[in-house]
Structure 1
Amino acid sequence: MWKNYSLIVWLVIIGLVMGGCQMGKGSERDIKPSEMKAEDLPDVRALQDEFTRSFIESTEEVEPGYYSFLSGTKQYRMLFPKEGVIHQGYGVKEDQFEGFLMSTINDNGTDSQIKINYYAYATIESVEGGLEMLEGSVGQKLEFEKVKAETSELYYAPFQFDSDTFGIAALVASLKENGVIQIVYDTQCKKDQNECKQIKEEEVDKMIHWAESIEFVDKEIK
């Protein structure tokens, strides 16, 4: 009897210890990068830059090379490259407007810049005017493709600034509520012509995938 009792006590102790360990691990996952010390974070630009990591929701990658970014307006989320940083000049007005420039170093040795403007008051009906604004931003007439998702529409068009610089202009519009995001995403390649041609194909596909990751936050459950 005493042997059985001792065994039960021992199993209970093990269970408590293991449960405590699991809760501890869960607590670590719940800690935001902005609440952690730089030396305890992965050695990547997005988390080592103090301002940038204030937007990153977790140290766990949601896709290889990307973290989850929550807008300063709390109105949308998107993928954020681990080697990306947000530059000076960031601007936000409550939950109504947000504008910033981010840059990232790509695995293929190229550099990219992404300019983002969010307008809370804009509606799906204002898309045509938004696309015209994007054409003015890049100084070109663009042919936009449309991708419709469950709660948003994405419009994007590739462009070429010069022999070294290419990118996409994009617009994401909410279908449920007001909200439009305008994007100019460009990459500079200074390698030889054949290599840059291959890089361009890969990077444009990556740009479109990134733009498709943008989702508006449901205000009813936020």
Structure 2
Amino acid sequence: MNDNEKNITISNKTEDVKPKDQDQKDLPKVPAFQDEKTREYMVSTIEEESGYYLLESKTKGFRMLFPEDGEYSDSETSKKNESLFFDSVNKKTNIVMNASVKFYQNESFINDPETMLDIVSGINEYKGHFEKFEAKDKDIYFASKHENFDNEENPSYIFLGYIKSKKQDDLGMEYSFMFSCSANAKTCKPDPKANEEQVKRIINSVTFGDV
């Protein structure tokens, strides 16, 4: 075996080992891997897209793109549902993202858009319209709003909705992403268009497993 073959073999063996089982010093130097709780969800150290890696839920019910600067903040898991909360800070723009996704399985109400949108609207205090986007394997319902809270110059932007699997009944996810200026930021210029593009990239990447 020559040196190139040896290097390929070593690389393949490394990729067979989950990030949570690898030595931290060998992992990418980004929050998604350097944070102990976050890397438990990471599938591989190989980027899926620039700045994004692949996340898999603990129940293996779904996978989605996860930003390299994202960090786990909390989670809730039951036999039917799994919630994941995570945050990220863009150090260049001083924008903080607070995100939550809640996965449902074996819940009949996930098939009813009216019921699910009422749930999502109630949680996020939203009274507007949702757009519907159809993909091959899922339907995506999407809306946005902004809140001034205590800062009228730099409002927070919230993107919310839910995703319904087309391949399997009683299977789907609700989501909410909020973007706001970091509390310690001296300069911050919100960019809701860029935030919307990021959210759509993440939710479009969602795939549901055979649960």
Shared fold (TM-score, shorter chain, > 0.5): yes
The answer to whether residue 101 in structure 2 is matched with residue 126 in structure 1 is no
The structure with more radius of gyration? 1
**Aligned residue number for residue 34 of structure 2:** 48
Report how many aligned residue pairs link the two structures. 201
Cα separation, partners in 2 of 1:41 and 1:158, compared to 1, 3 Å: same
Q: Write the deviation string for residues 146-193 of structure 1: whole angstroms up to 9, x where unpaired.
A: 111111111010111224211211201111112120111110036899
**Aligned residue number for residue 21 of structure 1:** 7
Q: Write the deviation string for residues 128-161 of structure 1: whole angstroms up to 9, x where unpaired.
A: 1111111111212121111111111110101112
Matched residue of 1:87: which SS?
A: strand
**Aligned residue number for residue 206 of structure 1:** 198
Q: Which segments of structure 1 move beyond 4 Å, counting only runs of 4 or more? A: 190-194
What is the correspondence of 1:1-222 to structure 2 with a 5 Å cutoff?
Answer: 15-88=1-74, 90-94=75-79, 96-106=80-90, 107-123=92-108, 125-162=111-148, 163=152, 164-177=155-168, 178-189=170-181, 195-196=189-190, 199-218=191-210
The alpha-carbon deviation at position 17 of structure 1 amounts to: 4.7
TM-score normalised by L of structure 1: 0.83
Matched residue of 2:112: which SS?
A: helix
The structure with the greater share of residues assigned to strand is 2
The one-letter code matched in structure 2 to 1:217 is G
TM-score normalised by L of structure 2: 0.87
**CA distance in 1 between partners of 2:140 and 2:186 (Å):** 32
Higher RCO (C-alpha 8 Å, min separation 6): 2
The one-letter code matched in structure 2 to 1:112 is M
**CA distance in 1 between partners of 2:3 and 2:186 (Å):** 59
Cα separation, partners in 2 of 1:45 and 1:188, compared to 1, 3 Å: same
Identity over aligned pairs, percent: 24
